[in-house]
A and B are shown apart, each in its own frame.
Chain A
């Protein structure tokens, strides 16, 4: 009975070939997953933005404004970064509804993403090499490389998932023109197109298509014919998919328009870019984000115990396969994969090759990619793993066909010896390396002798990869602890705080602004940080004197003095629509009237990302300054009557409130905008459900 159960288990390939190694990977990173070690670099801000978005979604609010980001900024940019239409994000919302903390739900979300990425990679490898052993080899090599670190270091998992599944569906569709694969392609492309950086995908796809045409021109032509037949026979379905893709482009187009209209700025990213869009990147900034600046390959052989989160690592088994594969027969597929690697590598080295400079100058999309080294993680590494495994397979096929197996065995062992010698010279040799390489030698000898994939081979291959990785990631844990890197800031999104906690004087520094409204960035750069920080402590304040403000050093000096002394004055930038809004009250007190908490005179009755309701009672007409950034999208109603929202004190909001009891309602953007985004999310969810339905039906009919 036990044997039967075991045999049944063995028949279920995904469980032991994919699930168990993944579980091994999870164990390597359990300290990150269980929150004992924090996220770092860009991963922190993505954790926070996804937390902000899903928290609001769970409360039924679609956020388009973030009042916590540098004192208020449009949130659309961040929505495009996280890809708000990604159906997997609903997983976090559902977990939050179930009472699971954001950290736990986000970690589960990351794990699911990584698992799906690796699953797609396994399926691509399997489809390509038509052999589960080599597909498994490629799968574990990529999984235990430092790709896994990227989950806790940056955000590329969010874009890699749709990219890799797109290619899986593309290859499936090439093989068999099914609706499920086509819709899968469209869904993945749609998710990518809604993000602000679909360009990684577009470039990878472009390089893939060019390489396909060069190496497989005839097959591509045949495929186009088959595609035409598919399109002709399913016109409505294809048209619907095309509409879906066009619809997916709308949010990115809106963002592009906003970035050109100056709704926000990205000073550190923009640099010396010559584009009118704020999302553009200066060419020097691109060079800072290229593979030379970020490709930390120096510790691969020397000292993996000093490995940091962003550094490159891959088990040495990879290099064994590489060396052994050198003697493999050169196939068209290996050349094809190699060509993709070379072209992308040339692009990612920016000014060291020159291709990038040409493309930056002449191809629009290159002006919007900063971290160009992500091509390494998104394409170069996965393709290299596929190529190396394929070359190794090619070598084994040659060896198995040869009459002199002993000669090949000697070659394989000498490859191991050469690698061991090289590692010793580099100073990276240790017991885990030795164990891994011994296991790899056992694997190679065994596979040369037995030819067919077996349980033993799979276990040995897994051990050869995992044994070194366990040691390396153990060091990473220790180094992380030693460094004591800090985690993230937790905000209470539900509560409006009248006063922000005071910052210690020693901690006040001019913050480096990644993204904010343009006026805020300017003010932050020009004002004394201590004065500015102290002024921003109080979110709401009443003033009686309203004076006009112009973008000039004299006005800036006056504003700084008023902020420093908390004077009873607000500086308002004139607008045509607002008319005459200035007033001077000679008898008014010298100091401003700060709202320190809810009182009868002023009380915030509703607060969310996009809305603020304030109940007030005044003896006389007064001007309310709201220290949340000004944006043209904000509209205000006082007792139901629309009132102009004025840019106050350089960057913030202000409005006149009449005497007596009033209810002030502030809303960000029109309801139609929210409807559009919600409909788009619903469309994506609908397409996702339909795709699941199609895939299930496809499988029932015997497809894969």
Chain B
């Protein structure tokens, strides 16, 4: 009985050894013995990454508000691949994947990634900036304030250096015009962060801090969006009942930006209170015509997520 079994087994082995299967097994053994699998793995990853690299001009245009909504999938795939292949983590990959997730309406994931990026590198301005913007948009002003404050504390020189040394940023910027001034773009983002900080303080009813920050921004000769700071300063003054200061701030806001319809009714009320009724009515007429022109996007609502 046992002999029969052994003979059967031998027969089967003999049959198997004469099958094509043998050469495939031999091939696998050869691969394991001769091929440097680590090199293959490393180079395959590199190839996959290179192959997955999308054209960044579209996402860059979108970021600058120049393009319509885009197909996020290639970007998502690429940044996910980078994060998968770099176990140590790359804050820039996190930042960009979070950006993609945010516009894919996967905010929870975006928050996680940005928090990780923020923890990875305190030198980089963008993760905290984007966290601040996202919290602000969700109405969580306390958290927005914290992250915007952290972003404003970031060293612009270090951020720029970080961006210049990052391979992902180099890829992103290839499609951009040669004369792109990164430091100018960064200073714009700093200005946006400061503006959102002021707006957040307003939402948190911390009008003293709001006013002092608006005043310091107005006094800063390099600050951008001064009309917005005058407006927010005036709003703070109004809440603090500093009507004479509010009047001056609103008037200055109007000089710098005549398209802001929110200034007119407020200024009109102040004019009316101090007896300048005709001017007040005139302002209300302008306000009505501006309303007819179309919806106005407030300064803080214009601020979007960015990566350069």
Q: Which residues of A contact B (CB under 8 A)?
A: 287, 292-294, 296, 298, 308, 325-330, 334-335, 338, 342, 346, 349, 351-354, 391, 394-395, 506, 509
Contact = CB atoms under 8 A, between A and B. Distances in A.
B32 interface: no
Given A296-B51, A298-B48, A329 B19 contact: yes
B6 interface: no
Nearest to A287: B43
Contact of B19 (A294, A328, A349): A328
A328 B20 contact: yes
A352 B38 CA distance: 8
A320 to B, nearest CB: 14
B165 interface: no
Nearest to A294: B47
A352 B40 contact: yes
B295 interface: no
Given A330-B19, A353-B36, A395-B20, A342 B27 contact: yes
A229 to B, nearest CB: 36
B21 interface: yes
Nearest to A339: B23
Interface string B4-26: 00000000000000111111100
Given A293-B43, A298-B48, A352-B40, A394 B20 contact: yes
A302 to B, nearest CB: 12
B19 A327 contact: yes
9 contacts: A292-B47, A296-B51, A327-B20, A330-B18, A342-B30, A346-B34, A352-B36, A352-B39, A506-B177
A635 to B, nearest CB: 41
B35 interface: yes
B35 A292 contact: no
Contacts of A338: 23, 27
Contacts of B44: 292
Nearest to B22: A330
Ranked nearest first, the 4 interchain pairs of A and B with the lowest CB-CB distance are: A326-B21, A391-B20, A292-B43, A328-B20
B24 A326 contact: yes
Contacts of B36: 351-354
Contacts of A351: 36, 39
B158 to A, nearest CB: 30
A293 B47 contact: yes
Residue in A292, A296, A338, A352 whose Cβ sees the most chain B Cβ within 10 Å: A352
A353 B178 CA distance: 42
Nearest to A298: B48
B177 to A, nearest CB: 6
A356 to B, nearest CB: 12
Nearest to A297: B44
Is the contact region of chain A dominated by helix, strand, or loop, or is it mixed?
A: helix
B225 to A, nearest CB: 28
Contact of A326 (B19, B34, B43, B178): B19
Nearest to A529: B178
Contacts of A308: 51
B48 A352 contact: no
Contacts of B20: 325-330, 334, 391, 394-395
B36 to A, nearest CB: 5
Interface residues of B, number: 23
Given A296-B47, A327-B19, A353-B36, 11 more contacts: A292-B43, A293-B47, A308-B51, A326-B24, A327-B21, A329-B20, A349-B40, A351-B36, A352-B36, A352-B37, A353-B34
Contacts of A287: 43
Nearest to B73: A306
A294 B48 CA distance: 10
B4 to A, nearest CB: 19
A352 B35 contact: yes
A328 B19 CA distance: 5
Given A335-B23, A338-B23, A506-B177, A352 B43 contact: yes
A74 B27 CA distance: 46
Contacts of A293: 43, 46-47
A263 B96 CA distance: 47
B54 to A, nearest CB: 10
A352 B51 CA distance: 20
Contacts of A329: 18-20
Contacts of A354: 34, 36
B43 A330 contact: no
A427 B24 CA distance: 25
A474 B134 CA distance: 41
Interface in B21-77: 21-24, 27, 30, 34-37, 39-40, 43-44, 46-48, 51
A329 B16 CA distance: 9
Contacts of B35: 349, 352-353
Residue in B23, B34, B35 whose Cβ sees the most chain A Cβ within 10 Å: B23
A321 to B, nearest CB: 11
Nearest to A296: B51
Nearest to A349: B35
A509 B179 CA distance: 12
Interface in B195-212: none
Contacts of B30: 342
A298 B47 CA distance: 11
A398 to B, nearest CB: 9
Contacts of A346: 34
Contacts of B178: 506, 509
A424 B44 CA distance: 23
Contacts of A395: 20
B174 to A, nearest CB: 10
A351 B35 CA distance: 9
Given A352-B35, A353-B35, A334 B23 contact: yes
A92 B35 CA distance: 45
B77 to A, nearest CB: 9
A343 to B, nearest CB: 11
Contacts of A353: 34-36
B38 to A, nearest CB: 9
Interface string B131-156: 00000000000000000000000000
Nearest to A482: B71
B150 to A, nearest CB: 37
A346 B43 CA distance: 16
A457 to B, nearest CB: 22
A354 B40 CA distance: 12
A249 B27 CA distance: 38
Residue in B19, B36, B40 whose Cβ sees the most chain A Cβ within 10 Å: B19
A576 to B, nearest CB: 43
Interface string B97-131: 00000000000000000000000000000000000
